[in-house]
Amino acid sequence: MKIKVKSKINKNNEDNTSDDKNYVTAALAGNPNVGKSSLFNKLTGLRRHTGNWSGKTVDLASGFFVTPDSKKCELVDLPGTYSLYARSEEERVSRDFICFSRSEKIIVVVDASLLERNLIFALDVCEAKNNVIVVLNLMDEAQKSGLCIDCNRLSKMLSVPIIAASAKTGMGLDEIKCAITDDRYKLPSVHISRPTIEDATEIVRKKVDEIGKTGDLSARWLAVKFLENDAEFVSQIAFRLGYSSDELFEIDDAICRANETLKKSGFDPDNISDYAAECTAKHAREIANACVQKKGGKKKDLTGKLDKYVLGKYTAYPIMLALFSFILWLSAVGANYPSDLLFGFFSLVGDRLSYLMRDLPEMIRAPFLDGIYLVLTWVVSVMLPPMAIFFPLFTLAEDFGILPRIAFCLDEPFRRSGSCGKQPLAMCMGLGCNCTGIMGSRIIDSDRERILSVLTNSFIPCNGRLPLLITLSSLLFFGMSAHVRGMLTAIALMAFVLLTVFMTMAVCRLLSATLFRGRRSSVTIELPLYRAPNVGQVIVRSVFDRTLRVLGRSLIVAAPAGLVIWLMSNLTLLDRTPLSLLNGILDPIGRFLGMDGVILSAFVLGMPANEIVLPIILMSYSGGGHLTQTPSLSTLGTVLSNNGWTMRTIVCTAVLCLFHFPCAPALITVFKETHSKKATIMSVVIPLSVGVIVCTVLSHVLLLFEG
């Protein structure tokens, strides 16, 4: 991620210098969860997902709009950050963009109702740069809760233009567009007083001014940063602003002199960073006190009341479990009907296609229709409906503000397994699609814990595997009355999902005791106020942004997979098809694990998209040359038991379905996120070895029962 994002910023710089004057860039920055992404959507008309929790923006996104004086403006949405003193990778991205990109304006978005805290960041940026605009977002919410903010006064105290805005009502959007190219506002940057280190700062500032390489940054702010001695940032400054080693040496010399003066006055230079931050925070507090009047409000009461139950000692876990099972149930059961409709539709289209292609030679027609087309439509029919239900529901929960509370409640159990409370959020996303879950792991601050979350995400059965899991669960209770079976299936499914959660925690624990030993991280989770989600917007956005993207990703790999499967089952090699050869080779291993070769090769061939595992199994058993639709449960049960399936086979297959290797798109995502071949290999080895171990144990234990 590091390399990719940095190259993006560099590209931006180049674009700016080379392009004409009708092209400007601006960036949206601010604390997490202040509505940057909503503003971004409103300004650029782009659909970008927004959520009511910290760390939603996981990559740089940019969009365009035209300013009133008809210039084209590229707007970049930066990941939320609490300060320019960066701690995680995302924060570094934001910091570097703010400090070193040559954007026309930095738009600092602050949450009007959390002014005091937000101003700490805003002040930091206002001190560093002189092209800042502060946008008071969520102004309507603040007014409703009885806050009265004196914008003129705030503008004077920060010495930047202030725009009161609300992404919801559209207030202030035009002003923002105007302000981007308005140079009247180039005011001197704000002065934050730090009396104790003033003399020391002055020594370094003189040197910085003398060298003159400040970029767009204020010399005084740079001087403080040099004194703070954040090695990583200093090397960034030196690199980006082009300091030579001689110049750095001179700066070092100035820092030493400054530190001497501090020591003489009895101040430990190690405390500069803290002191600087405290001064900024104090200044922010003073400004907030001067500009905000509170007339009493009600908003927080609702949050308090709800939190009593959502975070309550006895109610928290039941509420979470109920919510979780509800979402799971709805996306699993509710998806059956649209799935069947889609199957019907695609088979109609297939017949039509086959009619149209009747003149083409069989060698072209068959691989296309029975291979590519069949697998593609299969994946769509199985995958689309549950995702189209799951993602909007998840997004609603997200917008409402429930996710950080889940992280809060689950932090302790996950801390004990060496991870943190943000991991379950990535796991929840993994239920929709493991790729989303793996990318979502970026919300985790510590690198060590992020890797743990990336490596174990494929444990969680995604929407591609859930249908198989449901079918297997209901086969377990085959022969019982439909009513009882439904109940037991749901319980078995829940047990399987809880098994994966347990395994995730166990493996995290094991990994953090062996391969990923490291400091426990400090976790700070912000619990936002509950916000009513905008239902219509949520549905549209989650369908377009997530569902279709995830679907597209699987289709890209499903098409070639369809061809491969067709070839495997139709070519002849040594008088047999390659598929049956593979089945034969894998059979001894499969038997050992309580299954057979057919099941194993189905998992291997199903790697591009796990939806097609069961169809491949059925195809192998029937000896046919192409996939056929899953028959009714009773037919399925008979077919499978005729091929030697027992209770033991079903359980072992279900376990292997949970713990094998990640699907191809997920593997690609792991590599993209970690930039490490080692991690990618581990993401295969870890779940596979868990699966093999659990299957071996289970198959041998269950064998005893079968006698």
Partner 1 sequence: MLFEKGHALMNKEHFGNLTLGDIDPGDEVVVRNINLPAKIRRRLLDLGISPGVRITCTACAPCGRPKAYSVGSSTIAIRLDDAKEIEVEYINKNENKSQK
Residues that bind partner 1 (CB under 8 A): 82-83, 85, 87, 113-117, 120-121, 270, 273-274, 277-278, 281-282, 284-285, 288, 304, 307, 311-314, 316-317, 408-409, 411-413, 415-416, 421, 520, 522-528
Contact 366, 566 (CB under 8 A): yes
Q: How far is the CB of 174 from partner 1 (least distance, A)?
A: 28
Q: How far is the CB of 407 from partner 1 (least distance, A)?
A: 8
Q: Between 85 and 671, name the residue whose CB sits nearer to partner 1.
A: 85
Q: How far is the CB of 472 from partner 1 (least distance, A)?
A: 33
Q: Between 221 and 408, name the residue whose CB sits nearer to partner 1.
A: 408
Inter-helix orientation angle 613-622/597-605, to 10° = 130
Q: Between 191 and 416, name the residue whose CB sits nearer to partner 1.
A: 416
Q: How far is the CB of 300 from partner 1 (least distance, A)?
A: 8
Q: How far is the CB of 624 from partner 1 (least distance, A)?
A: 53
Q: Between 89 and 307, name the residue whose CB sits nearer to partner 1.
A: 307
d(CA 466, CA 653): 13
Instruction: Supply 391's token pair.
Output: 């993602």
Q: How many CB atoms sit inside 10 A of residue 417's CB?
A: 20
Contact 597, 587 (CB under 8 A): yes
Q: How far is the CB of 133 from partner 1 (least distance, A)?
A: 21
Name residue 449's amino acid.
E
Q: Between 45 and 304, name the residue whose CB sits nearer to partner 1.
A: 304
Q: How far is the CB of 495 from partner 1 (least distance, A)?
A: 22
d(CA 579, CA 564): 10
d(CA 477, CA 42): 51
d(CA 669, CA 309): 37
Contact 526, 32 (CB under 8 A): yes
- For 199, 444, 535, the CA distances from 520, given in Å and listed in that order, are 38, 13, 39
Q: Output the CA torsion sign for 250, 255, 256, 257.
A: positive
Q: Between 114 and 538, name the residue whose CB sits nearer to partner 1.
A: 114
Q: How far is the CB of 268 from partner 1 (least distance, A)?
A: 12
In which element (H, E) is residue 172 found? none
d(CA 228, CA 217): 16
Q: Between 36 and 553, name the residue whose CB sits nearer to partner 1.
A: 36
- Quickly list DSSP for 269-290: GGGHHHHHHHHHHHHHHHHHHH
Angle at 188 (CA atoms; ends 182, 190), nearest 5 degrees: 115
Q: How far is the CB of 208 from partner 1 (least distance, A)?
A: 22
Q: How far is the CB of 149 from partner 1 (least distance, A)?
A: 12
Q: How far is the CB of 18 from partner 1 (least distance, A)?
A: 36
Q: Closest Cα to residue 463, out of 633, 338, 349, 596?
A: 338
The rounded radius of gyration (Å) of the Cα atoms in the chain is 29
Q: Which residues pair with 62 in a beta bridge?
A: 76
Q: Exposed, middle or buried: residue 72 (CB in 10 Å: 0-12, 13-18, 19+)?
A: middle
Q: How far is the CB of 280 from partner 1 (least distance, A)?
A: 8
Q: Between 33 and 441, name the residue whose CB sits nearer to partner 1.
A: 33
Q: Between 119 and 640, name the residue whose CB sits nearer to partner 1.
A: 119
Q: Between 311 and 357, name the residue whose CB sits nearer to partner 1.
A: 311
d(CA 616, CA 171): 55
- For 10, 60, 662, the CA distances from 131, given in Å and listed in that order, are 20, 20, 46
Q: Between 521 and 646, name the residue whose CB sits nearer to partner 1.
A: 521
Residues 6+ apart with CB under 8 A from 366: 566, 570, 625
Q: Between 411 and 596, name the residue whose CB sits nearer to partner 1.
A: 411
CA dihedral in degrees (658, 661, 662, 665; nearest 10)? -140
Q: How far is the CB of 290 from partner 1 (least distance, A)?
A: 14
Residue 171 DSSP SS3: strand
Rounded to 5 degrees, φ, ψ at 61 are -120, 140
Q: Closest Cα to residue 453, out of 436, 441, 435?
A: 441
Q: How far is the CB of 223 from partner 1 (least distance, A)?
A: 18
Q: How many CB atoms sit inside 10 A of residue 677's CB?
A: 9
Q: Between 116 and 182, name the residue whose CB sits nearer to partner 1.
A: 116
Q: Between 96 and 370, name the residue whose CB sits nearer to partner 1.
A: 96
